[in-house]
Structure 1
């Protein structure tokens, strides 16, 4: 049940979402919001945070009232580097709205483009690429040694996998990771001036490199997701706008973030959570399908993409709060996934909960994350392959871990573990059955 409150005199003044206090414990602040003000005006910027699960679903379903068009997820550059940033951007392609910042009919056209590339058959083709990559990384984990699991496995797996899925050469692995970090550096975060310049230069490098790859795919189609997207972009229906290089660059950048950043944070979160449920490693070895439940619960519990933005198109009353047209909403998937009205004992990690598949980690409705299928493949495959190689991964000092300083893309920055390999595991034998 929501409380009938006026957000402009809210009994709980919403926190600064970028403050160290909020970023350290967002689940704590969201819990307060859900009880005191499920729709809460954040002082200083005019944002309304939507925290209750049913209210979040209501917003995601009503795309006419709560629009994605005309929004930017990225913070503006600070004044002291604004001219330098503009000069760098002028050397590349314009930033055009894509899936995350469009409404129908353009969103429908772009979504159709991506759906052609992410068919069930295409996802089935991607899975062996992910599995081979996971085995390569798992085989390198040192027996009995201490390692940062995030940088040794969780971070490179999706970067290496998306490189192969796109059809890029393995030599581009480091570039893919660098481009992904640049694409998310200003989402829910505020880099310093030097960081801004570095980010824009990396994004320009991404544009120039991928535009050349797009042209090669146009001239000579090849294996891979990028070529499939280029081919699908040429099929423009009657009355539809052409899908040019700038559109493709933005779509691929969104896919890099969706299938790369989210997956790495998810895989790290799973290992952290299994440190408290070590028996799950044996259960996955006995039944590899068990990994699917663990992935869904880890998605709910960690919610790597924490929020989405929406623009209110008309005066509306939401959760007892009057919100004016053109107001901005921060729709919190992370809060919805911890709502007691939607999940029993929501702060607990329980893969056997009956509502395990009803989370909102990928959103809902027309704007549901396009990379959800690939992210699930990467999460499930990572856990299954790790279970073939290790008895457990024991987290060092689990109560003192650092997280990404962003209220939108959140996850562990590092995850020091002790590796306990299976004595009988053969790194050269990668069974494909049962998955």
Structure 2
């Protein structure tokens, strides 16, 4: 393949988007008691979720916009399942600034038209093949650096880098671009509180991807960029702005959220060693462990929607034009649907779906890949790190955040 100009660094190279995580997503150790209290007060409440949780308001939200929080399970299901009334227009004000004309900002008829094209790249059979070709090599590459040490911080040594390196291989990115690329990808998510850096990252990623798409159209390979650069809608190539927006968002949707979900899964299992041992003895338990982990403390607590018309939800009238903060993290712990919802239990027999990957026409395209990555990571860690356990001499992992959740370290011993 031809050389593509390296991705441009921030104008201020000292800017570190990783340090803004707490500002953007909060440092809440346990937001669930407050969510439970709000949910018992009412399934639908007026107010912006960020503000209700003590965070700075979203600066991208239009002045004077009304916000409502949807907290109850049934009401969340109703919102996510009715895309005509509760549209994704809300995302044009935040994700749209960073990602551009993303399918997350689209509604029907445009959304299903483009989603079908992108979805083909993430079909279960395609993702299963990636498991051998892309996922396993990354797992083993990362583990080689610490497998002989007897101890590690699984976040800094493994989960923080794991899904991103898989994406780099999917996109066939030049190795020299990886570090800057990771910073730019993460910086896009700070736009709700830091528009300047969020838009700078978006602009520079846009330039980079435009050049990369042009290169792969001239010199196609077996990578995802080449496949999408030659994909067609009604006999025409995908519009360039839609393709570039998808690539911008892919890095976060498939990288950042999977890093968080994998970290939460490992934290939960290590803090429940009997359940971890059960999985060690019976790997068929891994799928239900993953589903319980993302229900119990999914990496994304809130999704956004926009009221296309005046509607009554949970007994509350929501005016046309209002922003709807859909609190999936609250619905996933609604005691009316999940008995003892705050307990992490991989043997739980849930009678209701969780909303960690959303629901309805905007359900997460990459959910199959996320499950494959989490499954292969857990299998490899159990295979290669005998007697894996929390390090008793170091702080236990603390999952933090009110918007996006993750532990910043998981200190373990093994061997």
TM-score computed with the length of structure 1 as normaliser: 0.79
Instruction: State how far apart, in whole Å, the 1-side matches of 2:67 and 2:330 are.
Output: 16
1:354 is matched with which residue? 349
Query: Structure 1 residues 95, 349: CA separation in 2 closer, same or farther (over 3 Å shift)?
Result: closer
> Deviation at 1:162?
0.9
CA contact 2:150–2:413 (8 Å) conserved in 1: yes
Q: Which of 52, 61, 69 in structure 1 is aligned with 2:81?
A: 61
Query: Structure 1 residues 21, 295: CA separation in 2 closer, same or farther (over 3 Å shift)?
Result: closer
User: How many pairs does the alignment contain?
Assistant: 375
Counterpart check, 1:206 vs 2:205: yes
1:125 is matched with which residue? 129
2:300 is matched with which residue? 305
Counterpart check, 1:272 vs 2:294: no
Instruction: State how far apart, in whole Å, the 2-side matches of 1:372 and 1:296 are.
Output: 11
> Deviation at 1:119?
2.1
1:419 is matched with which residue? 413
Q: Which residues of structure 2 form unaligned runs of 5+?
A: 1-21, 52-64
Query: Structure 1 residues 69, 20: CA separation in 2 closer, same or farther (over 3 Å shift)?
Result: closer
> Deviation at 1:373?
1.2
> Deviation at 1:70?
5.2
Instruction: State how far apart, in whole Å, the 1-side matches of 2:179 and 2:278 are.
Output: 34
SS at structure 1 position matched to 2:283: coil
Instruction: State how far apart, in whole Å, the 1-side matches of 2:27 and 2:162 are.
Output: 29
Instruction: State how far apart, in whole Å, the 1-side matches of 2:127 and 2:272 are.
Output: 30
CA contact 1:296–1:356 (8 Å) conserved in 2: no
List per-residue Cα deviations over 1:94-151 (Å, max 9, x = no partner). 9633221110111011211111211233212211111121122123225565533212
Query: Structure 1 residues 345, 122: CA separation in 2 closer, same or farther (over 3 Å shift)?
Result: same
CA contact 1:149–1:417 (8 Å) conserved in 2: yes
SS at structure 2 position matched to 1:310: strand
Instruction: State how far apart, in whole Å, the 1-side matches of 2:158 and 2:240 are.
Output: 33
Query: Structure 1 residues 398, 356: CA separation in 2 closer, same or farther (over 3 Å shift)?
Result: farther
CA contact 2:191–2:197 (8 Å) conserved in 1: no
Q: How does 1:211-360 map to 2 (within 5 A)?
A: 211-232=210-231, 235-237=232-234, 243-355=238-350, 358-360=353-355
Q: Which residues of structure 1 form unaligned runs of 5+?
A: 1-16, 77-88, 422-435
> Deviation at 1:182?
1.3
> Deviation at 1:302?
1.6
Q: Which of 357, 363, 369 in structure 2 is aligned with 1:368?
A: 363
CA contact 2:25–2:404 (8 Å) conserved in 1: no
Counterpart check, 1:164 vs 2:169: yes
CA contact 1:147–1:417 (8 Å) conserved in 2: yes
2:405 is matched with which residue? 410
Instruction: State how far apart, in whole Å, the 1-side matches of 2:91 and 2:149 are.
Output: 48
> Deviation at 1:297?
1.0
SS at structure 1 position matched to 2:400: coil
Counterpart check, 1:72 vs 2:71: no
Q: How does 1:103-114 map to 2 (within 5 A)?
A: 103-114=107-118
Instruction: State how far apart, in whole Å, the 1-side matches of 2:352 and 2:210 are.
Output: 38
Instruction: State how far apart, in whole Å, the 1-side matches of 2:277 and 2:99 are.
Output: 47
**Root-mean-square deviation (Å):** 2.7
Instruction: State how far apart, in whole Å, the 1-side matches of 2:84 and 2:245 are.
Output: 24
> Deviation at 1:20?
9.4
Instruction: State how far apart, in whole Å, the 2-side matches of 1:276 and 1:203 are.
Output: 38
List per-residue Cα deviations over 1:285-318 (Å, max 9, x = no partner). 3333322221111111121111111111111110
> Deviation at 1:21?
8.4
Instruction: State how far apart, in whole Å, the 1-side matches of 2:290 and 2:381 are.
Output: 13
> Deviation at 1:49?
0.4
Query: Structure 1 residues 131, 357: CA separation in 2 closer, same or farther (over 3 Å shift)?
Result: farther
Counterpart check, 1:183 vs 2:182: no
CA contact 1:315–1:324 (8 Å) conserved in 2: yes
2:61 is matched with which residue? none
List per-residue Cα deviations over 1:214-260 (Å, max 9, x = no partner). 1112112211222121121xx2228xx96322211111122211111
Counterpart check, 1:394 vs 2:398: no
List per-residue Cα deviations over 1:253-279 (Å, max 9, x = no partner). 222111111110111111211122223
